Structure formats: structure tokens, C-alpha cells
Structure 1
């Protein structure tokens, strides 16, 4: 074979898409023609759902219709809770989530219908029910019951309420909405590629998203936000965080929250947005100010010592922590936000499908005889 082998498929074009593109040169994350960071400052996560699923930003009535549709799909089958309660309480929330997403397929009466209309409905069902599974995984593991959504709360507000058990303030809803937007879609990371590969066999959307959960659980993909917060909590102070990072560097340990396969010489634009959100929180909250000062100190060391810049997870971690989200739920929340992007990729793959079947560069023995 004459084709060059590229470990990790680095810089290999795997598909054509109209969904998103990481334009590193112009520091833009393009979502169907829009700059994600610009969108995140002007619209809501509900608008992003319309953009990614319906290929256009919704008008006021369409936005209300999306909210209504999400509420109409909000009843998670009770048997899902029964299944999750059978798992050991030590089960990681990502494993509970993987089980829950897979089990949802059995409750879809139109599972064998792969039409665009059926998959749009499926995407909305998953968008409505995955956040409930995420929240329930925490409560069930601690001996409690799932907190159902409140009819009077918005979709985004309910997402936070079902985790914390208290109605969020308008500022908290705003920051959580931003978290969901910055995690909503990011071209072709491992989990999205996994979903497209599974879809290419004509498997269903639940199977594709189950594979994406499994991929996202891996510490080289998801999980960095949890690791960042654990470092901050361990260090406690600016001086402690500086000392911890320098010790890890001296032992050649990987510092989670820094570096990215695509953003190698610049800060992830989403990280800058989360940094700004943390700065706003810090204006009125001493705890947020502490996390901000620690993160800025760590960012300075990594830039000066290693030439590395923060990725999204570095500043998203303390933002989520300040919203009252338990650290083990950071990656599940990431996935709940990404359901919309994954669903869009599943539908796009089906619209112009060819099964993925790459080849290998064989370097084993030849000519052996039994």
C-alpha cells in the first residue's frame, strides 16, 4: 500500500460535513456558517438545537416549539430508573449514562424507522431525556431518587435544577446555558467519529450515541474537566496550585486542561469564553475569585514553561463547580450538551452514507508454516 500511515488519523479527512469546522487560522469554531463564540454571546442553547438539527436558527415561534417538543419528550420510562438502580452504587456516572442511553432504544416504538423525520424526533427525545439520566445517575448512586423536571422551568434551567435540587438563579441559568453551548459541537473528535462509524453500518441513533458515551469516558477525550477540578481542590491556593503544577512538570506528568490536537499554538476559543464567565462570577463571589486566580497562575506557568494553552475543560471546570454540579457529573454534562451535535452528525451520515472500512499497515511476520 502506498498511502501514508498517520497514527491517530492525524490530519486525515474522514468525512464531508456542513455541520461544523475548526478554523484555527481565524480562531473560529464554525457552526453551519456562524462563529460559535459569537452565537454564544447572542443566542441560547435552544437556538443552537434549532441550528444543528434543523439547519437554521429558529424564529421566536420555532424556538417555542422546540421547548414544547423537549417538554413533551420529558417523561423518562420508569423502567430506566429501575435498570440504573440495579447497578452498584460505585458505578461511574458515565457508565450509568452509557447503560441508560442504550436502554432507551427499547422504548422507541419507531426504532426501525430511519427517516429524517423519525430521527429528528429521536434527537429531541434524547436531548430531553439524557440530562435526566445524567442527574439521576448522581442521585441514584447516593441512595436517592431522580428529581423530575418542573413544568414551569425552561429546558436549560431544568437541567441544572435536576442536578442540584434547587431552582437556579437567572445568572446561573445564563452561565449553564453558555456551558451547554461551548460543549454542543466540535467538528470530529473521537466520540463524534465513533458515532459516525457506528451510524455508517445503518445502526440506530441510540447505538451511535452509546458508542459516543463509551468514547467520551476515556481520559484522553472526556474527563479532563474533572481532573482539572480535582487538581484545584487538592491545591486549595494559588501558591499550592503553582507548586502542584511545577511538581507535575518536574515528573513529566501530563497537566490536564492544556493542549489540544487542533489548538496547538493558541488558546481554545471556548476556553476564553469560559474564562470570561468565571471572571464575571468572580466579581461578586470570593470563591470564584479564588478559582480564577489559581487558573490564571496555572495558565501563566504552562505558557511560559511548555508553550501550552488552556483547552475548554480548564476554565469550564470551575464554572461548573460554581454552579453546584458535582465533579463526577462534569463529563456526563459535557455529553448531555453534545447530544445535539452528535444527533446532527448521525443524521448527516445517513443522508449520504458509506460504511467506514479503513485498511491497515501490516508489520507482522509472513510465511510461517504450521
Structure 2
């Protein structure tokens, strides 16, 4: 095998055919089942997008109501799993808690070993119903806080935010949180989705594939950027402090999280632009305009110094902070939103499967003898 065949990190290597999504960078469009995801995020709900991703078409009003009813019917959660999560130490990384919880509930699914499209669809619904509970109550478990029971009188999105914060969200908070879930819902073939498809290609089950995705997203080169962004903003403290802090970090050759993207190299991430608008709105509502101004200054500094644009995590982080979401839950919420996309990729992999088995470019010695 020659050097010409080797692409470190599989950069620009086509690994799968898919009808789920595509990043059209030249036209600055995220195509999901034929639709522009950003346009949908301005008009539709997360459950509309979930229906689109899973079924291949946008649900009408009745189909959307049926999807929500199906999700709420799967809210019941194995009590033994929650009891087990309470045994984890308080210092536990919540992504580890999430990974453990998803792996544990697999054994309670009666269709675990059924790889048919119909069974995989039902498992996707169960996971969409239960992953937000693992995020919220897994966090509460390690902190020895009371669990929050899901409320069927709230919307799917409203219930998720309620279980995290303990407060019923207002309409603006719910709308902005819903929009954030949409832009995190699907993004072609990032590492976590690829990890899920590789696992699924062995004919492993959907829970195992999603568990692998969580492990992938825990890595700091994939997930965690939104948490790091918020910690940097809090360290800066004020809009006067953000530029000197970034310049100091750059001088130390530190990476500024929330900027740059393997795909969006020299163009803005359209999801970041949408979350920037959302941050402007909620910052004004909560009288936190300085936080928004800090972010804008940081964006200008990075464009000037490094010619880099912000990615989704840069503006999603302060949005989540103003919604009252603990920083440790930023990445788990990302995974909860992305669960629908990952499940769709697992279903697609199972329906038209070929085992992933790449080769290597060998650089070691040959011809050795003892």
C-alpha cells in the first residue's frame, strides 16, 4: 500500500453512503434528509427534526403528536439502574455516568438482539425517552441529590430542561433550548457517529453503538469544547478581560476551544451563527448583555489573530449557562440531542451493512530473526 492511499485521521476519506445528512460547506448548508437544518431550526421543533431523521420525512401535526406520545410512554426507567448510578463516586465524569447508564439499560430492552428496522426504530424511541433522564438524574445521583421524575404534562424539550434545572422553563427558555437540541441533532460523520457505525457494522446492538459514541464524545478533541468555552468566559469575567486572556493563552500556545472545525476550516459554522442570535435574545431577557458582548469580542480577536471562526460550541456554551444548565452537563446534553442522529446511522448501517476493516501503512521493521 502506498503513501498516496494514507490519510491521517481519515481526512476527506468517504467511509459510508448515507441518506441522512451532508455538510455542504461551499453553500454553508447542513443538509438533513434534503432540508437545510438551519432553516428547520428557525421554524420546526426538535421532535419534528427527530421524526424527520428517523422516518425520512417531516411529520405532520398528528404524526408529531403521536411521536411525542410514544416517547412519553417510554419514560418509565429501570429503578435498579438509577440505584446503581447512585453508587458512583461524586467525582465521576458525567459522560462516564451516561456511558454506564446507557450500557446498563440495554439489558432491560426485550428487543436488544433484534436488528430489524422495526425493532431498531422502537429502540431509538426508548433511547430518546431515557437518555435525557440519565443525563439529568445521573448528574443528580453522583451529587446525592433527589431524582426528578419526568412530567408528561410538559413537552419533551420542556421536560428535559425541567429535569436538569428543577424549574419549569418559560416559553423563551424552552424555545431556545429546543433550537439548541436541533442544531446538535445530526452532523454527518463526526468521530462519535463514525464510532457508532463501526460498532454497528459488527452487528453489535444499538445500545453498544451508542455507548461507544459516548466514549468518543468524552474525548477532549471531540466533546467538551462547550464546557471549556464557558470556563474561559468565567475566567475572563468581563468584556474587558476576554481579549487579554485569549492573547495570553495564544502566547502560551494554548488551544482556544470553540474555534475552528475539521470541516468548517475557513467558513463560519452556520449552527454557531444561529446560537449567536439565540444568545443575544436570552442575554437581553436575563439582563446578561455583557456575556454576549464578551463572546463577540472573543470572536473578533480569534478572527484577527488566527483567522478562525467560532463553531457551535462557542455560542452554545453561554446559552446553556443562561438556561441554568450546569457546566458538567453541557457535553452530555450534546449527546442526548445527537442520540436521534446516531440511532438513525445505526439503523442505516444495519440495513445495508459491510464490516469496517481498514488497512494500515506499515512503518515497522521486517525480516527480523531470533
The TM-score normalised by the length of structure 1 is 0.99
* Residue 172 of structure 1: how far off its partner (Å): 0.5
Indicate the SS of the match to 2:5.
coil
Match of 1:300 in 2: 300
Which residue number in structure 2 is paired with residue 313 of structure 1?
313
Tell me the equivalent position of 2:5.
4
Q: For residues 173-200 of structure 1, what are the alpha-carbon distances to aligned partners after superposition, in whole Å with 9 as ceiling and x for unaligned?
A: 0000011001000000000000000000
Q: What whole-Å deviation, never above 9, does each CA across 1:57-83 have from its counterpart, x for those lacking one? A: 001110001000000100111011011
CA distance in 2, matches of 1:142, 1:93: 11
Contact 2:140–2:146 (8 Å) recurs in 1: yes
Structure 2 distance, partners of 1:108, 1:328, is 28
SS at match of 2:365: coil
Match of 1:50 in 2: 51
Aligned counterparts of 1:284 and 1:337: Cα–Cα separation in 2 = 24
Question: What are the within-5 Å matches in structure 2 for residues 1-370 of structure 1?
Answer: 1-2=1-2, 3-287=4-288, 289-370=289-370
CA positional deviation for 1:33 = 0.4
Q: Secondary structure at the match of 1:167?
A: coil
Equivalenced residue count is 369
Q: Residue 359 of structure 2: SS of its match in structure 1?
A: coil
Q: Deviations over 1:84-111 (max 9, x none)?
A: 1111111111000000000111001121
* 1:285 CA drift (Å): 2.5
Alpha-carbon shift at residue 284 of structure 1 (Å): 2.8
Tell me by how many angstroms 1:282 deviates.
2.6
Please give the TM-score of this superposition, normalised by the length of structure 2: 0.99
Find the aligned partners of 2:342 and 2:156 in 1 and give their Cα distance: 19
The Cα shift of 1:145 comes to 2.6
SS of equivalent residue, structure 2 residue 262: coil
Q: Which runs of 5+ in 2 are unaligned?
A: none
Q: What root-mean-square deviation, in Å, do the aligned CA atoms of Structure 1 and Structure 2 show?
A: 0.8
1:127 to partner: Cα distance = 0.3
| Inter-partner Cα distance in structure 2 for 1:73 and 1:365 | 55
Gaps of 5+ in 1: none
Classify the secondary structure of the residue corresponding to 2:53: helix
* Superposed displacement of residue 154, structure 1: 0.7
Q: Cα deviations across residues 325-351 of structure 1 (Å, max 9, x unaligned)?
A: 000000000000000000000000111
Q: Distance in 2 between matches of 1:192 and 1:125?
A: 19
Distance 1:281 1:326 in 2: 17
The offset of 1:117, in angstroms, is: 0.8
Distance 1:341 1:110 in 2: 20
Is contact 2:283–2:322 with CA below 8 Å preserved after alignment? no
Measure the CA separation in 2 of the matches of 1:249 and 1:339.
Answer: 34
Runs of 4+ in 1 over 2 A off after TM superposition: 282-286
Instruction: Output the CA distance in 1 between the equivalents of 2:238 and 2:111.
Output: 54
Does the aligned pair in 1 maintain the 2:30–2:36 contact within 8 Å? yes
